[in-house]
Chains A and B, each alone.
Chain A
Amino acid sequence: MASTTHDDQEYVDYIHESKGIWSWMTTLDHKRIGIMYLVTTMIFFTVAGFLAVALRLEHWTPQQTIMGADTYNKVFTLHGAIMVFLFIIPSIPGSLANFLLPLMIGAKDVAFPRLNLFSYYLYVIGAVMACWAILFGQGVDTGWTFYTPYSIKTGSSVVTVVFAVFIAGFSSILTGLNFIATIHKLRAPGMTFHRMPLFVWATYATSILQVLATPVIGITMVLLAMERILKIGIFDAKLGGDPILFQHFFWFYSHPAVYIMILPGMGIISELIPVFSRKPIFGYRAIAYSSLAIAAISFLVWGHHMFVSGQSDLSNFIFSLLTVLVAVPTAIKIFNWTSTLYKGSIRLTTPMLYALGFVFLFSIGGLTGLFLAALSVDVHLTETYFIVAHFHYVMMGGTVMAMLGGFHYWWPKMFGRMVPEGPSRIGWFFVFTGFNVVFLPQFWLGSHGMPRRYYNLR
């Protein structure tokens, strides 16, 4: 745009300022790194998406349709593991937050640009290792949750995949670390904490989760690998250990992880709704603090994944009670977004359609989560398709909708081109409708008893 003052150099944008793949692979520019994350995460989204299609096809008939039982186990495991570790967790932090965070606080780049690039490569290495295990190893058939004792005994390539998760986990940790340092140290003069855009607050809360929780999945993966290789016995009942301890370790990370997945999405919605209602956000501080509150409470509730695992009654009671608390800050956000819409001048552009879709679908997903928080209800619904529907509503109806809304909204900023409104609205329609057609019936299926992870039902 503007040329520099002391010579006639024309402004060149970040995409064209240097050419060649090497310049991209060695870039320290947060915007380029963001684009690289975007491309890579979308590739894995597609891969895991195809795996999902395969799973659905298998369920076309009650008998074997296209794959045997063993393959089915591997396919749903990989669908889950790829979606969680290689798509959703890195997607918004890696792509949109990387791109936008420094811009939103007036910084030149993130605090540690080389670390940023290193994070990206760690993610790629983890992804390659996982692909290696799938293509040249035995794949994994334990479910993405790697529950012991089966994950100790199974002959599939568990060790390779857990190391892949370990490495990708470090990518997440270092990204979070980078963002916290950036937000604390590199805000432009006058950019106080309470003037930061809400997407930045959301990223801040997410980064705290990444830094505190991810090391625990790191040690869990190491312990699982050691259990398989050295038989240390910590999760193996025959050797004196406790398989449920694995579940505690696993979910201590994986529950905060689901908030790592949703908080950035909520941050995007907090940006989109005010813009397309032509109104300032209602309750800025409430939304900002509720992001932090969600992050804090998320560490207290992991046991709700384990209500039927055999943990003590005391634990069950405590976790059920704590879990309902997390609904409070979440509900605050929903109310505030809705209040922002009130008396606003609403334009139903594509990003707004995604944002409104988010509010609707995430509300369904979140409310069903509240049903599941109640111990007595969860005991019946656990391991059924109700759970599958619940988490797809929050993860896909939530995060993916928000992500797509964000991509459409910030696309002109990222690539210098406007997104054609017509086709993208049609795209929204298909995404929204298709999503609901697939997942809404699963609530009924689950509550009527259809179990999950079953190869077929005769």
Chain B
Amino acid sequence: MENNKPDLEEVNAFLEGKMNEEERVRFEKKITTDALFAREFQLKKALLGGMEDYFSNQLKKRLQQEEKPTTGNSRRLKIYRIAAIAASIVLILFSTFQIWFSVTSHEAIFAEFYQPYPNVVDGTERQMSEETLSPFQIYENKDYEKAIATFKNELALDPEDVALNFYMALSHLALGNAGEAIPFLEKNQSGPKEDELQEANEWFLALAYLKAGHRENAMNLFSEISGSSSSYQESAKKVMEKLK
């Protein structure tokens, strides 16, 4: 504290709580008893805060750049989307004639396109003991048999819950039991369309139909997805291509 003025590093240490008790008390006393010291403290506090804001904004701009490829040129995207829908209609018509001539294994296509869906519902923000894990966390831990048992209990209390039905189905699907998964996914299809899981529900139902050998149901659903704005649109088109 030269010439009754705190230097910038001292102000930083004070603001970040990095002074020891004795230093902190002495520093606080100076702020309350020495007007010059207090003014300099305020100026340096502003310098530090302004630098933090400025460089945080720079970092924010850098992160925002990561979003540009997906958000830029919406007009071109719209044209692509219209073209994609048109292409998928052609694809549907064409594949209707081709459908019975397919030689591609349903199992192989399922294996190629199936990816476990992450737990987006519960518990990722804190760790719990093994005994207190929610069914969603058990699912996340890939203990699918135990997850099914706990989802079953939860569904007995709330049979219409979209997330419970969805992850129950996904647990069955992860174990390769598409037939068991289908009723839970079908139940959600009649649920509220604005639900965040709806897109994923539709996609996994189509995959479950495929794996269970319900080809016609699968084709209908994949063509619906490929003609929609679903984030699974491109994948659905690829599946249909393979099913031709």
A joins B in a complex: no
